Amino acid sequence: MKSIQVEKREIETKSTAQQPRRLRSTAKLRSLVSETFVDNGHIVMPIFVQEGRGLKQKIDSMPGIFRYSPDIELDKEIEELTNAGINTVLLFGLPRKKDAVGSDAYNPDGVVQQAIMRIKNLNEDVVIICDVCMCEYTEHGHCGILNGRGEVDNQKTLGYLTRIAEAQASAGADIVAPSAMMDDQVASIRAALDTSGFKSVPIMSYSSKFASAFYGPFREAADSAPKFGDRKSYQMDSRNIREALRETELDVDQGADILMVKPALPYLDVISAVRQKFNLPLATYNVSGEYSMVKAAAMNGWIDEERAVDEILHSMRRAGADIIITYFAKQYARRK
């Protein structure tokens, strides 16, 4: 028993042993007992590459993010990233032309393939992950090939996804990341890579990708909004977590090397559940809408951007993600 004076009153208290505030009293002590870290090595920067020359195009809905042509403009961005300490990028392409089968996605001279070669030529240590999908390349904006009735045909799409992954691997991609949400896409891509001499190229599977309003700014950035309907017949229903675990299990069985939960913030519970159930490395994608919300609020002076970003990125690590894909990558790394 110890007596404490409060406003001249003597109060008897037993609770002197556990006082968590002791360890919060200075920044040094708080740092000593901090539990989670966001290292530059955990972060991946998405990059939009645009067919053409001499381009660095603003994206209105994503302040601070640009589309680069695969030339000196892209080189400069890669140099800024590596100087800041970011060594891994995720590439998305905007082709010169779109068609029914998204042929520029697997064309050996397609914009992403050009960008891969450009980056490797500049700095072969940069780790290049490539999004394997069709929505930026098809004239209808869906993530696969349509059957005659306006639906995405799973089986037909698989053949195209494998061609895209092979084209990216041939150009020098380090990791391929299928995001089309077609059934069996991981198994098909694994088989294709293995038979075409790319056994050592890992697959980062978008294992649970939800149909999300938070992709809005990306669709402006990548010019990939569907021209009719939505993506709910292939992307997951945001109400479901058991389904996310089932999708993840299927991808593990099909040979995925890295798993992913996307988006991140509204799905921290899914990150945590996947972390507990599976032992593969786990990525999460802090998507465009999550980025733009913070930027918009910060530009209005409504929140402190740096503190918000710190909190957001650490929440993903705390939930159990190993890798964070985020448009904040460069600015976060720069101030560390």
Q: What's the Cα-to-Cα distance from 8 to each of 5, 11, 13, 328, rounded to whole Å?
A: 6, 9, 15, 52
Which backbone phi and psi does 64 adopt, to 5 degrees?
A: 95, -10
Residue numbers of the site for ligand PBG (CB under 6 A)?
Answer: 131, 133, 135, 143, 179, 215, 218-219, 224, 287-288
Name the minimum Å distance from CB 216 to ligand PBG.
7
Which backbone phi and psi does 80 adopt, to 5 degrees?
A: -60, -40
Which backbone phi and psi does 238 adopt, to 5 degrees?
A: -65, -10
Residue numbers annotated as active site: 209, 262
Q: What is the DSSP letter of 201?
A: -
The structure tokens listed for 229 are 């309907």
Q: What is the DSSP letter of 186?
A: H
Name the minimum Å distance from CB 102 to ligand PBG.
11
- Cβ-count burial 120-158 (b if 16+ within 10 Å, e if not): beeeeebebbbbbbbbbbbebbbbbbbeeeeebebeebb
Name the minimum Å distance from CB 201 to ligand PBG.
19
Name the minimum Å distance from CB 288 to ligand PBG.
3
